[in-house]
């Protein structure tokens, strides 16, 4: 997600003029798609095992808790910009 949102976050920097382009439009559409389509978050079940999935790139990092291969109501992410 941090790679997808990188162009959007760059617009919030003090030294960058706010000019919305098709790159920003596409990034926003991708974020909306990812947030509204499967896999949808599920509730934590304390009787099930959990896994932690991590990811990092030059733009940011993220982590997600999984149960039975599906994300549950907890995740963390951050951008480096």
Decide if pLDDT at 19 tops 90. yes
CA distance 45 to 72: 9
Write down the domain spans for the chain: 2-79
Element (H, E) at 24: helix 22-36
Instruction: Give this prediction's pTM.
Output: 0.54
Span 23-80, pLDDT tens digits = 999 999 999 988 887 666 678 889 999 998 888 888 888 888 888 877 886 667 777 7
Determine the pLDDT at residue 38: 67
Report the C-alpha dihedral over residues 14, 19, 21, 26, rounded to 10 degrees: 40
Nearest to 76, CA basis, from 57, 58, 55: 55
Determine the pLDDT at residue 74: 63
Instruction: Please say whether the beta carbons of 73 and 43 come within 8 A.
Output: yes
Determine the pLDDT at residue 34: 82
């Amino acid at each position: 997600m941090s790679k997808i949102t990188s162009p959007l976050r760059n617009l919030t920097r003090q030294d960058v003029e706010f000019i919305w382009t098709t790159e920003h439009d596409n990034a926003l559409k991708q974020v909306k798609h990812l947030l509204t389509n499967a896999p949808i978050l599920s509730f934590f079940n304390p009787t099930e095992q959990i896994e932690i999935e991590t990811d990092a790139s030059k733009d940011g990092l993220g982590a997600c808790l999984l149960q039975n291969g599906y994300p549950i109501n907890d995740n963390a992410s951050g951008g480096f910009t």
